[in-house]
Amino acid sequence: MKPFFFISAVISACVSVCIVLFMIILGLPLFREGLFFSMLTSPWNPSNGVFGLYPMIIGTLGISSLALVFGFPLSLGTAALISGLAPKPLAAVLRKTVQAMTGIPTVVYGFIGVFLLVPLIRNLAGEGSGMCILSSALLLSVLISPTMILTFSDTFDQVPVKTRMAATALGATPVQTFLWVVLPASKKGLVTGLILGMGRAMGDTLIALMISGNAIAVPDSLFSPARTLTAHIALVIASDFDSPEFKTLFACGLVLYGFTALSTLAVRAIDTVFRSES
């Protein structure tokens, strides 16, 4: 078994190195002309020959952080219910439901978003199409929650029964036990779950594509449409190849890759910090 895992690890490491190399090589002209870094901060203005990614970077960061803002409390609450606060049968049903949710294809969420959420938000905003940052962040928060819920509840479950019993015997209510014993002991898992959630949110393409409106402009309110890096890649690939627009894709890929690498590093760093702490 061990050699098998070793080989898999080597292969996946190679693949990921190849992907970076591939993107760097294909994006090389951008680097050579010093374009890459100016792209990160300039607007998208094709008629003047400016193909900046700034709006998409803001779109990606905005939508995914907002999705976390909605998804984190939702996930924390649900995980708390699953791991001790809800009566056993309800907890079991919740857990099964959340596990099932991880298997639902994203496009289903997209449809629900287009037909239910978007009209709702349109009415709420009283203007625009309803395809905006808020809609896609709300929907994304539902999409990323199962990942966070399962990570959180795994961490909560690691607090030993005898520890919970100690708190209970001292007169702690289940909620007090959760808030003052389980939660502080789960810091690491909470951060890991958050980062995994952020990763899923940034990596998602379909939801962003279907309901965030795709306008290439820096959004100025929750009801503004926006385009994410992933949606940008999908849209450009679908419409042309070998144009200046097309070349920006490699930059998009590199930026996304950078975000992913950062979150992986963050998980590692947290791991080390918390290990040295306990």
Judged by CB under 8 A, the residue of 180, 261, 271, 273 near other proteins is 180
Q: Which CB sits closer to other proteins, 272 or 278? A: 278
- With CB under 8 A, what is the number of residues at the site for other proteins? 21
Judged by CB under 8 A, the residue of 105, 171, 242, 276 near other proteins is 171
Judged by CB under 8 A, the residue of 69, 104, 165, 265 near other proteins is 165
Residue 269: CB minimum distance to other proteins, A: 21
Q: Which CB sits closer to other proteins, 93 or 104? A: 93
Residue 171: CB minimum distance to other proteins, A: 4
Write a three-state SS string for the chain: CHHHHHHHHHHHHHHHHHHHHHHHHHCHHHHHCCHHHHHHHCCEEHHHCEECCHHHHHHHHHHHHHHHHHHHHHHHHHHHHHHHHCCHHHHHHHHHHHHHHCCCCHHHHHHHHHHHHHHHHHHHHCCCCCCCHHHHHHHHHHHHHHHHHHHHHHHHHCCCHHHHHHHHHCCCCHHHHHHHHHHHHCHHHHHHHHHHHHHHHHHCCHHHHHHCECCCCCCCCCCCCECCHHHHHHHHHHHCCCCHHHHHHHHHHHHHHHHHHHHHHHHHHHHHHHHHHC
Q: Does position 188 bind other proteins by CB under 8 A?
A: no
Q: Which CB sits closer to other proteins, 74 or 185? A: 185
Judged by CB under 8 A, the residue of 82, 167, 202, 229 near other proteins is 167
Provide the binding-site residues for other proteins, judged by CB under 8 A.
88, 159-160, 162-173, 176, 180-181, 184-185, 278
